[in-house]
Structure 1
Amino acid sequence: MTENILAMNKFKILSIIAVVTVVSVLLTACGKDKRSTGWEYAPNMYEHIAYDPDQPNTNFKDGKTAQLPPAGTIPIGFVRFDYPNTKEGYERASVEVVNKYIATKQSLADGKILFEHFCSPCHGIQGQGDGLVVQHGFPAPPSYSKGNSSRGGAMKDLTDGKIYHTITYGLNAMGSYASQLAPDERWKVVLYVHQLQKL
């Protein structure tokens, strides 16, 4: 009989614990705010305290978060090309700008791949101005080995600076390739164009 009383007491205690647990869960889960996710653990992990660039910010006089960089600063990795998109800038680049790359087997191979991807649709694989775009009725660019530049002089005599300036800013129907080709890629294309000038 004593064993039955102990078993009944254990059952009552377990039942009370279960009821209290269920009631606690129901009371804490059924709050007034239906959108509440409950307690938060480390909210700074997903609720950032930094300002977004387009948010107002009282820390600055003009009230903007996105601030202009100080005058004369250059972003890391940016290479300046201080020659304007003018005839004078083109001529000055011709005299002052020299390719920093040497024509090695690898740099020429890289230049060839870049030329074929970006330049050959107009200039043709051999640089003769007979690319696919020309075959569809667009004006042909001059041949690198036989043609004349619209700025004067033979295409075979174009210098590093003139070619780089043209790739950077474009000329006539050719648009700028500054956004498609990084400065080092442009220099490799210049090396390859010099090879095409010899054909």
Structure 2
Amino acid sequence: MNKYKVLGIAVITVAAAIVTTSCNDKRSTGWEYAPNMYEHLAFDPDQKNPNFKDGKTAQLPPAGTTPVGFTRFDYPSTTEGYTLASVEVKNILAYTSTNIEQGKKLYITFCSPCHGATGQGDGTVTTHGFPAPPSYSKGQSSRGGAMKDLTDGKIYHTITYGLNAMGSYASQLSPEERWKVTMYVHHLQTL
């Protein structure tokens, strides 16, 4: 048999097989490359999961673990936690002009609407009927003592958990940013 005849028959056979197999199912998209991208095997967090005793996919982390990138602050949101933080917690960042300048920018963005640009408690919210927070340099803390004597721990604890009408800023400011704001508040205490 002629080699061109064999090659021609093979090409016609392959072409006929492709045409007959591709025309059967109009809903078929053909071959799927990486089918796991379309039909994933993993469970979604809100799905039931038979692999766990409680049947939930989203499991609580083991007790005492810390997520990657998370900084633990082990002082409770209580008066006792505030007092303990006052004594034990010290700023972890170096007092540099760069850190203080970054703290100023963060303070102006997040704190000045209530505390005012100079920390005197004259922010714009006071014009809308909200009570004025105490001045950092002249006021008295609601937990006792002068505002100018607030320690790193007290300021950081207050930014983290909030106090009185002030809410928590833990979700808006990272731990490092809270330390920078703490530095800048110390600067405002001297004004």
Tell me which interval the TM-score lies in, with the shorter structure as reference length.
0.7 to 0.9
Is 1:81 aligned with 2:73?
Answer: yes
Of residues 31, 35, 45 in structure 2, which corresponds to 1:39?
31
1:196 paired residue number: 188
**C-alpha deviations, 1:126-157, integer Å up to 9, x for none?**
00111111122211101000111111111001
Gap change, CA 1:138 and 1:46, over 3 Å in 2: same
Of residues 23, 31, 55 in structure 2, which corresponds to 1:63?
55
1:142 paired residue number: 134
1:129 paired residue number: 121
Deviation of 1:66 after TM superposition, in Å, equals: 1.7
2:179 paired residue number: 187
State which drifts further: 128-137 or 180-189: 128-137
Is 1:96 aligned with 2:88?
Answer: yes
Of residues 36, 43, 48 in structure 1, which corresponds to 2:40?
48
State the one-letter code of the partner of 2:117.
I
TM-score (norm 2): 0.86
Is 1:158 aligned with 2:150?
Answer: yes
State the one-letter code of the partner of 2:45.
P
Deviation of 1:26 after TM superposition, in Å, equals: 5.9
Deviation of 1:76 after TM superposition, in Å, equals: 1.3
State which drifts further: 125-134 or 35-44: 35-44
Deviation of 1:87 after TM superposition, in Å, equals: 1.1
**C-alpha deviations, 1:90-119, integer Å up to 9, x for none?**
111111111112221101011000100000
Distance across 2 between alignment mates of 1:34 and 1:46: 19
Report SS of the residue matched to 1:144. Answer: coil
- Is the radius of gyration larger for structure 1 or structure 2? 1
Distance across 2 between alignment mates of 1:77 and 1:177: 18
Deviation of 1:59 after TM superposition, in Å, equals: 2.0
Of residues 99, 103, 107 in structure 2, which corresponds to 1:107?
99
Q: How many residues align?
A: 184
Deviation of 1:79 after TM superposition, in Å, equals: 1.3
Distance across 1 between alignment mates of 2:73 and 2:45: 28
Structure 2 stretches lacking a partner, 5+ long: 1-7
TM-score (norm 1): 0.83
Percentage of identical aligned residues: 74
Structure 1 stretches lacking a partner, 5+ long: 1-12
1:176 paired residue number: 168
**C-alpha deviations, 1:7-46, integer Å up to 9, x for none?**
xxxxxx9xxx6xx95x766644442x44321232331343
